[in-house]
Amino acid sequence: MPTRLRSCFRGSTVRPSFTSVHLNLFSGCSTARFIRSEPAYLIMVNSVSSEENVLTTKLERVKDYQFEVKFDLPSIPDILTDESEPLGKSAGPNPSRLLSAAVGNCLSSSLLFCLSKSRVPVREVKASVETVTRRNENGRWRIAALKVKLHPFMNPENLPQSKRCLEIFQDFCIVTESVRKGIPVDVSVEVDS
């Protein structure tokens, strides 16, 4: 591996027997390296400051458009992803569905965390995410919008106590605030008793 790449990938490993994509954001270092072979893995390493977390997600092609997704914690089970028909077989969620789940989960967790810090008891939180896809000006499918509905179940007497959380929780959702840079995310909160 060239010296420039080696310095960019400190802390990550390059395994020449696999197809790998490495993305690094070390200061002054934005590099991609492809090594050709099977099976395929995607390794992402991000580094922006000394106060950061690096999450590594690996994907290995199973067959056709199916990928086994491995996360960087042994306690997290692998998942199978697949493209929707007619391209794939819909044997697992496709990337659009994973994005929907990530946004819905992150917003739900952010709201729940804020409410728990405010000592607002929440019995349950439900969320639904509508993912709107449409063709762009070049005829390519894109995610046009995400419409999120959150349903925290709490006692009506706790509504005044929850007002501040309902105003600020979205700002603490890592995924949504990152996605908003490119995809409009419409969020509504419907408190159920």
In this prediction, residue 34 carries a pLDDT of: 35
Cis check: omega of the bond before 39, within 30 degrees of 0:
yes
134 token code pair: 């449409």
Question: Which residue segment(s) compose the domain that 155 sits in?
Answer: 95-189
28, part of any domain: no
164, part of any domain: yes
| Triad 134, 101, 108: Cα angle to 5° | 120
Q: Number of structural domains, the chain? A: 1
User: What CATH number corresponds to the domain at position 144?
Assistant: 3.30.300.20
For residue range 51-66, list pLDDT tens digits in order. 888 899 999 999 999 9
Asked whether residue 112 carries a pLDDT value surpassing 60, the answer given is yes
63, part of any domain: no
In this prediction, residue 189 carries a pLDDT of: 87
What is the residue-averaged pLDDT of the chain?
A: 80
Whether the CB-CB separation of 22 and 33 falls below 8 Å is answered with: yes
Q: In terms of DSSP bridges, do strands 185-189 and 141-154 run parallel, antiparallel, or are they unpaired?
A: parallel
